[in-house]
């Protein structure tokens, strides 16, 4: 994550996110910078000066041809060199304050560096998977949350969405009849998808696509974040990168189940599956009646936990065949329950690839 508190003017005018805000004035960028300035009031002057520099460069790009800019820069450098030589020869130096001289030098440096950034990046294509790119030229309905509370949205197919602050979604008017129920997300949202096996539900969130038939899950995908998160509450979802061929049977995808989250690291373009920090029971009714065990086989206890939380628990059944558990697991969290069981059998557990792996020498 970028720490804009450490930025000076030269950092801001070279930052792509800052330049996009000044040039494009997107609503989500405006919300971010207004909030950031409220939290960092000492940066108002720096931001104002940086905006002026970027706006000046943008004006030059629009009104002056590139060839003309290069000619004028060449003339300017010749003029500066000539004036410097003339001052040395004649010793007629214009008296100005040090503060004013430093301001002039800083502005000149910032204009040069920002201009260089433009020359280097003007031909760079827009990232094809950002929200603005994938929604451009599509006839979509867009919902934006400019409040400080989650915004409820109901789609025509009956699916429900809780859209987080500073987030937006788009979808087609015929989403309930299309072959794929496609939604485009920028930010964070919780989805409760109406099940339809004939019309898969897909969420395009920057670099990744999440595909489901009917389930509930959360996606966090802000453009400024270095990673994208998908968290499953109920059901099962598949996730794949947009760089892969979507819709193909050979498309590599990652399956995640309840109480798991998938993290996509943008820079490395890699997926990482994890268990949530506080797994919730997905089948509370029957499980609550089996929380008290008296000399129960360990395999039964693990099976109960696995069904209750939807989490796969891997162990050596043969080595642990003689192990039994006598414990009251009521009121304990999932990880506290695991700790109690592992202490009883003299073992330990690890969280690997979104599942629990039990290590124990067994019981006599």
- In this structure, is residue 79 part of a structural domain? no
How many independent structural domains does the chain possess?
3
Which single residue is written with the structure tokens 């050979």?
250
pLDDT at 180: 93
pLDDT at 171: 96
- In this structure, is residue 75 part of a structural domain? no
pLDDT at 12: 82
Residues 220, 293: one domain? no
Predicted TM-score (pTM) of this structure: 0.62
Q: What is the CATH number of the domain that holds 295?
A: 3.55.50.30
Domain end position, chosen among 275, 307, 339 = 275
Structure-token pair, residue 57 = 């460069």
Residues 156, 199: one domain? yes
For residue 304, the enclosing domain spans: 284-359
Distance CA 169, CA 128 (A): 17
Residues 117, 138: one domain? no
Residues 13, 51: one domain? yes
Residues 178, 259: one domain? yes
**Three-state secondary structure of 148-172:** CCCEEEECCCCCEEEECCCEEEEEE
pLDDT band of residue 363 (cuts 50, 70, 90) is: confident
- In this structure, is residue 78 part of a structural domain? no
Share of the chain above pLDDT 90, in %: 40
CA-closest candidate to residue 49, choices 20, 1, 7 = 7
- In this structure, is residue 76 part of a structural domain? no
Q: Which has more pLDDT, 216 or 133?
A: 216
Classify 265 as helix, strand or coil: strand
- The mean pLDDT of the chain is 80
Residues 177, 260: one domain? yes
Q: In the predicted model, is pLDDT for residue 86 greater than 60?
A: no
Distance CA 273, CA 261 (A): 6
In this predicted structure, which of 185-199, 231-245, 268-282 has the lowest mean pLDDT?
231-245
Residues 265, 348: one domain? no
Q: What is the CATH number of the domain that holds 156?
A: 2.60.120.1440
Residues 227, 290: one domain? no
Domain end position, chosen among 121, 139, 158 = 121
Residues 212, 334: one domain? no
């Amino acid at each position: 994550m970028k720490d804009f508190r450490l930025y000076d003017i030269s950092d801001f005018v070279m930052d792509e996110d800052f330049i996009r805000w000044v040039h494009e004035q997107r609503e989500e960028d405006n919300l971010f910078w207004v909030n950031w300035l409220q939290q960092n009031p000492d940066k108002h002057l720096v931001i104002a000066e940086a905006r002026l520099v970027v706006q000046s460069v943008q004006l030059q790009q629009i009104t002056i041809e590139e060839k003309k800019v290069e000619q004028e820069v060449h003339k300017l450098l010749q003029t500066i060199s000539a004036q410097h030589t003339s001052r040395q020869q004649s010793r007629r130096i214009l008296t100005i304050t040090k503060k004013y001289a430093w301001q002039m030098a800083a502005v000149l440096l910032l204009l040069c560096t920002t201009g260089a950034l433009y020359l280097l990046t003007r031909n760079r294509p827009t990232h094809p998977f950002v929200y603005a790119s994938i929604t451009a030229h599509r006839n979509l309905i867009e919902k934006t949350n400019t409040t400080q509370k989650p915004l409820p949205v109901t789609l025509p197919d009956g699916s429900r969405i809780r859209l987080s602050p500073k987030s937006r979604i788009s979808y087609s008017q015929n989403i309930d009849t299309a072959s794929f129920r496609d939604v485009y997300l920028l930010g964070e949202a919780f989805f409760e998808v109406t099940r339809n096996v004939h019309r898969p539900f897909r969420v395009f969130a920057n670099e990744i696509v999440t595909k489901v038939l009917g389930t509930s899950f959360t996606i966090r995908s802000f453009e400024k974040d270095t990673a994208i998160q998908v968290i499953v509450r109920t059901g099962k979802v598949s996730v794949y990168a947009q760089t892969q061929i979507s819709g193909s049977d050979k498309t590599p995808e990652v399956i995640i189940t309840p109480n798991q989250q998938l993290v996509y690291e943008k820079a490395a373009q890699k997926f990482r599956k994890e268990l949530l920090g506080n797994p919730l029971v997905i089948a509370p009714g029957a499980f609550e009646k089996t929380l008290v065990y008296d000399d129960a086989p360990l395999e039964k206890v693990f099976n109960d936990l696995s069904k209750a939380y939807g989490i796969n628990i891997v162990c050596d059944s043969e080595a642990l065949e003689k192990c039994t558990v006598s414990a009251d697991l009521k009121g304990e969290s999932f990880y506290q329950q695991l700790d109690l069981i592992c202490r009883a059998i003299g073992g330990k557990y690890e969280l690997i690839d979104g599942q629990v792996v039990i290590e124990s020498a067994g019981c006599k």
